[in-house]
Amino acid sequence: MTGFGRGEASSADCRCVVDLRAVNARFLDVRFKLPRQLHAFESKAREQIAASISRGTVELTVNLQFLKPSLQGMIKEDVAKAYAQQIENLSQSLGINSGLTTTALLELPGVVSDEEAAARVDVESLEKLFLDALGAAVKAAIAMRSSEGAKLGEAIQREMLEMSSLLKEVEKERGQIRDRQMSRLQERLQSFEKKQNLKLDDARVLQELVFYVDRSDVTEEIDRLRSHFGQTADLIKSPKGAVGKRLDFLVQEMSRETNTIGAKSDLIEVTKLGMDMKTCLERVREQVQNLE
C-alpha cells in the first residue's frame, strides 16, 4: 500500500523533519537520504521501520536544521576565494562577464558550513531527535496505509461475494456435469462395440464408468473454494500482522481449484462461470499485491 508520513522533533539546538513515503513492493526495501551527521544511525532507523512495516519500498528523506548557528567559522573564506578565482579565470578565458555576486558565491557547495553548530549537539541528542521524528513519520504513514487497507479489504470482499454467487451456479450444474460425462462415455462405448462387433461385460463397464465419472466430479473443488472464501473473509475482518502474503497464497489456491473445475467440465455454462470466477480472482490478485 502507498502511504506518506511526516514526523518532526526539536530540541533547543536542532530541528529534525522526516518525510517517509512508502509504495507497493513484494518485500521491504528501505532507502535513505540522510544528512552526514545522521549516517551512524541508519541501522537503528532501518530496524525501527522494519518493526512496523513488513512490505513496500520505503523512501526516507531527512532534513536537519541547527537552530543556533554561530556565524564564526560558518563561512569558509578560503573556499569562497578559490571559487571566485576559478570563476574569474574561466570568464577571462571565455571572454564573458562572470556576473558573480556574493549571494551566488555563498550558495556554492562548501562555502557555508554548519560544522561548528553541529559540533555543539551531542551524538545521543541527535540520535534521539532523529528516531523520535522517524517514529512520528512511521506512525502517520501506517495510519494512512490502514485507511487505504480498509478500502482494499472492502473491494476484495465484494469480489469474494461475486465469486461465491458464481460458485453456487456451478454447484447447480454439478449434476448435469456427471450426467453429461456418463452419457458421453456410454455413447462412445456403444459405438466401439458396434464397430468392433463386441459385447462388453455390462457390470464391468458400469464399474469403469462410475470410476471415471467420479474423477470428473467437482464437489471437492467446490468445498475447498468455500473454505478459501471463509479464510479470506476472516483475514480481512480480523487482520493480524502482515496479511498480504497469506492472501496471495489463498488466491493461488482458489485459482488452482477454479482451473480444475473448468478442466473437469465440458458444459458451456460451467466454462463461462469458470471464466467469470477467474476474472474476479485477477481483480483480487491485483488488490492483494497492494496489501501489507
Per-domain residue ranges for the chain? 3-70+118-145, 77-106, 148-288
Residue 23 phi, psi dihedral angles, 5° rounding: -125, 170
Determine the pLDDT at residue 289: 75
DSSP assignment string, 197-234 = T----HHHHHHHHHHHHHHT--HHHHHHHHHHHHHHHH
| In the block, residue with C-alpha cell 502482515 | 242
Tell me how far CA of residue 56 lies from CA of 26, 50, 86, 141, 142, in angstroms: 6, 10, 46, 12, 12
3-state class (DSSP) for residue 128: helix
Say which amino acid occupies 37. Answer: Q
pTM exceeding the 0.75 threshold for the entire prediction: no
Determine the pLDDT at residue 237: 82
Determine the pLDDT at residue 252: 92
Determine the pLDDT at residue 25: 75
CA distance 274 to 67: 65
Rg of the chain taking only CA atoms, in angstroms: 34
Determine the pLDDT at residue 71: 46
Determine the pLDDT at residue 72: 46
- The hierarchical CATH code for the domain 3-70+118-145 is 3.30.230
Residues 6+ apart with CB under 8 A from 150: none
| In the block, residue with C-alpha cell 545522521 | 38
CA distance 207 to 200: 12
* Residue of 114, 41, 31, 44 lying closest to 72 (CA atoms): 114
The span from the first CA to the last CA of the chain, in angstroms, equals 7
The length of the chain, given as a count of residues: 292
The answer to whether 126 and 38 have CB atoms below 8 angstroms apart is yes
Residue 81 phi, psi dihedral angles, 5° rounding: -65, -40
Mean pLDDT by 10 residues, the chain (292 residues): 86 88 84 88 93 86 74 67 85 81 75 55 82 94 82 88 91 71 66 62 58 69 92 82 80 92 79 90 84 69
